[in-house]
Homo-oligomer: A and B are copies of this chain.
Amino acid sequence: MKLGTKGRYAVMAMVDLAFYSEGKPLSLTEIAERQALPISYLEQLFLKLRQKGFVMSTRGHQGGYTLAKEAASIRISEILEAIGEPIETTRCKEESELGCLGTKGQCLTHALWAGLGRQMQQYLNGISLADVCQRRLT
């Protein structure tokens, strides 16, 4: 049960952006350097973040990325979902009514994992970029 670099880097970069940008766009070069992240990797991530509407880009000289919404209204859970690092605790599909072992109802542990997932989702849902920047964490 570990957090991969994809989700970690995306959140680190977004926090950096929220923290150091003052309206002006920040280049990936700058962010990558400050956070010690591979820049080519960040490019992939910001592509998705832009497509999902979390950041805006300006090209060319003095260009870079800007938050497309207020930092207080971007939840960590949204970032993770946007770049494709979902929380998968249960093994069965939500839609299909067959449990993870293929037969009839849910397995004995389904409720346990579902509860864990709900817990995590709730936590990450309740925290915004602004919260992280201001260290307003429980």
Contacts and interface: CB of A to CB of B under 8 A. Distances in A.
Interface of A: 1-4, 7-8, 11-12, 15-16, 19, 35-36, 76, 80, 85-89, 91, 101-102, 107-109, 111-113, 115-116, 119-120, 123-124, 127, 132-133, 135, 137-138
Given A35-B101, A123-B115, A109 B1 contact: no
A33 to B, nearest CB: 11
A136 to B, nearest CB: 10
B3 A113 contact: yes
Considering the complex of A and B, which 5 residue pairs feature the smallest CB-CB distances, nearest first?
A2-B88, A36-B101, A111-B137, A119-B123, A15-B108
Copies in the complex: 2
Given A12-B109, A109-B132, A112-B127, A1 B137 contact: no
B1 A120 contact: yes
A116 B109 contact: no
